[in-house]
Each structure stands twice: as C-alpha cells, then as structure tokens.
Amino acid sequence: MDFLIFQVPILTVQAVLDGLLLGILFALIAYGMALQWGVMNIINIAQGDLVILGGYIAYFMYLYGIHPAWGVIVSPIIMYFVGVIIYKLVINKVVDRDLFISILATFGISILFMQLMNFAFGADVVLANSGYGTTMLFDNSVTLPNSKIFSAFISIVFAIGLVIYMKKSKLGRAIRATAQNARAAKILGVDTEKVYAATFGINAALCGVAGALISITFTIHPYMGLPYTIRSFMIVIVAGLGNLPGVAMSGMGLGVFEEFADYILGTEFRIGSVFLLLVLILVYRRFKLSKKREYLK
C-alpha cells in the first residue's frame, strides 16, 4: 500500500488539482484574516465561526428552495453587517490594546457564536446540494466535483475584486493608509473608526462567501469553525502580513502539500505534516532574521 501515488502516477494529477481547489478556498478565508490583521492588528479567533455562519445562510436558502449558489451573493451582504455590528459592540474596544486582549475578545465571540448557532440551528451536520455534477478527466481516472471548481472560481473572483477595490476605491485607499500608519492617516483626515468597521465588515463578508462555498462543497456544523481559523492563521503566518499574493500562493501551496502528505505519509499525518511545515518555516524565518541583525551590528 505504500506509495500508491508512485504506482499510479495519475493520482499525482488528482492530488495537485484537489490541493489547489482546496487551497484557493482556504486562501479566501485567510485573505480576510490578513486584511484585518494588517489593518487593525487583531487576530480574529472567531474567523472560522463567521465562515460557518455564512454557510448557514446559504444552507437556509437551500432549505427554502433557493439554489445555494446564490448564497455567495446574499451571504456576504448579511455577513458584512454582522461584521460591522461585532466591530461596534466589541472590537472597537480592543483595537488599540495589545494582541493578547484581542485574542481573548475574539475567542469569546467565537464561543458565543458557536453556542448561538447551536441554539438556533441545532447540532446536526448539514450541507447544501448544488447538483453541479462532476468533471472527469483522463478517461475517468481524475474526477473533480464541479462544486469544488465553482468554489475555487468564485474565490478567485472575489479575491481579484478585492485587490482592485483596495487599489482603486476611496475606502480601499483609506484602508491601506490606515494599515501603513493609523495615526498619520487620522491626521490626514481619514476616519479610522469607519475604516476599521469597514475592514471588519469586509472580512466578515469574505467569510460569508467562503461559508456559502463550504456548505456546497463540504459540510457545516456549529462547532466546525476552529479548523478554518487555524488554517487561515497558518496561511497568513506563512505568507507574512500585508502580502496578499503571498496569501494566495501559500494557501494553494499548503493545500497541495497536504494532499501529497496524505498519499505519501498517510491520512493521519495530514494535519501534522502541515504543522511541521509551519514550524520549519518559522524556524527558517527566525534564522534569517537573526542573520539580518548580525549584519546590522
């Protein structure tokens, strides 16, 4: 059974494609996290729970007979306001505090969201069926669910849209200015309070899109948020803050790496190997950093 992937080379194609499609979806969530981490210096532990909430919006549309794919439009709109409300209620009180306080606050939000979703939607695992069928490649030996392809496509559209928005729009420029130097931006007339609220709202909206996509491709459950938080956190760490193309690359890279780890080491080492990679990258970064310091001396 060892190294099946070398005996059946076509599995390599399957692994790469699966990894890429999965990675792109994760990258979208990480994208939002990187954005608000960069702008507000807040690590949002509730990121995954926002994703799940977005997923429930699509699921309820599906329950009421609306095709869940419309969730990628409805869910971000609702989630934007959810994000702004969370900001007004909690986040604005911890924005200028140290990182630990923000982690505690968002951890609290995460627990609250989990319990509220459990209370409102029940503890059953649910999913929305898109009925999109399957794409078969290479004489049926590589199969890609169209729902995954759809998810990746939508993720890319939103990611590109966001980059353009950040570059061209007034709010986008204000967000970038605030990220560079909040005080200077304030002095120059940027309403940073508004910028923060919008940033958190945009982050929540991205989570909403991702959630809707996850309800189509995977399953959702009130307590399933944390893995998405951890994954996006890792992607951001690997990419580095303020590096949006890096987020996309590291998302896809980790996705593919994970698939190969599954085939070569076994499914049980899948998550472990990703964490190992993370440690290696952090050690390498530190090594590079310490060299730099020497140079400065």
Partner 1 sequence: MKIKNIIITFVSAIAILFSTSVVSLAKVVGDKIILGAAISLTGKYSSNGVHTQNGYNMAVDRINSMGGVKVGGKTYMFDIIYYDDESNPKRAAQLAERLISQDGVEFMLGPYSSGLTKAIAPVTEKYGVPMVEANGASRSLFTKGYKYLFAVLAPANLYLDVAIRTAVELNGGKGVRIAQAFEQDAFSQDVRLGILDAAKETGSKIIIDDKLPKELNDMAATLAKVKATKPDVLVVSGHTKGALTAIRQIAEMKVDVPMLAMTHCDAAKLSKQHGANSQYALCASQWHKTLTYKDDFFTDGMTYDADFTKEFGYAPPYQAAESSAALLVFKDAFERAGSFDQKKVRDALAATNMQTFYGNIKFAEGGQNVDKPMVLFQVMCDDAGKCENKVVAPLKWASAELIHPIPKWSSR
122 contacts partner 1 (rule: CB under 8 A): yes
Specify the residue, 18 or 175, whose C-beta has the smaller distance to partner 1: 18
Residues pairing with 126 in the sheet: 220
Residues pairing with 143 in the sheet: 136
Q: C-alpha distances in angstroms, 115 versus 43, 88, 136, 227, 246? A: 21, 21, 41, 17, 34
Tell me the closest approach of the beta carbon of residue 256 to partner 1, in angstroms. Answer: 12
263 contacts partner 1 (rule: CB under 8 A): yes
169 contacts partner 1 (rule: CB under 8 A): no
Please name the amino acid found at residue 194.
K
Stretch that binds partner 1, among 27-35, 221-229, 234-242, 289-297 (CB under 8 A): 221-229
69 contacts partner 1 (rule: CB under 8 A): no
Tell me the closest approach of the beta carbon of residue 277 to partner 1, in angstroms. Answer: 15
**Distance, CA of 184 to CA of 101 (rounded, Å):** 24
**Distance, CA of 58 to CA of 67 (rounded, Å):** 8
Specify the residue, 137 or 280, whose C-beta has the smaller distance to partner 1: 137
Site string for partner 1, 125-164 (x = CB under 8 A): xxx-x----x-x---xx-x-x-x-----------------
63 contacts partner 1 (rule: CB under 8 A): no
**Distance, CA of 18 to CA of 263 (rounded, Å):** 12
Tell me the closest approach of the beta carbon of residue 133 to partner 1, in angstroms. Answer: 8
Specify the residue, 147 or 232, whose C-beta has the smaller distance to partner 1: 147
CA geometry: angle 254, 75, 251, nearest 5 deg: 10
Tell me the closest approach of the beta carbon of residue 297 to partner 1, in angstroms. Answer: 44
266 contacts partner 1 (rule: CB under 8 A): yes
Tell me the closest approach of the beta carbon of residue 97 to partner 1, in angstroms. Answer: 30
Specify the residue, 10 or 157, whose C-beta has the smaller distance to partner 1: 10
CA geometry: angle 141, 69, 61, nearest 5 deg: 130
Look at residues 85, 72, 88, 50 and name the one whose alpha carbon lies nearest to residue 232: 50
Stretch that binds partner 1, among 15-23, 158-166, 185-193, 232-240 (CB under 8 A): 15-23
Q: Give the CA count within 13 Å in the CB-facing half-sphere of 87.
A: 24
219 contacts partner 1 (rule: CB under 8 A): yes
Question: Which ranges in 64-145 belong to alpha helices (H)?
Answer: 71-89, 99-121
Structure token pair of residue 81: 């306001």
Residue 69 · residue 150 · CB < 8 Å: yes
Q: In the set 232, 238, 259, 273, which binds partner 1 (CB under 8 A)?
A: 259
Structure token pair of residue 163: 């980059």
Residues pairing with 134 in the sheet: 145
The residues that touch partner 1, with contacts defined as CB under 8 A, are: 1, 4, 8, 10-11, 14-15, 18, 22, 115, 118-119, 122-127, 129, 134, 136, 140-141, 143, 145, 147, 218-219, 221-224, 226-227, 259, 262-263, 266-268, 270-271
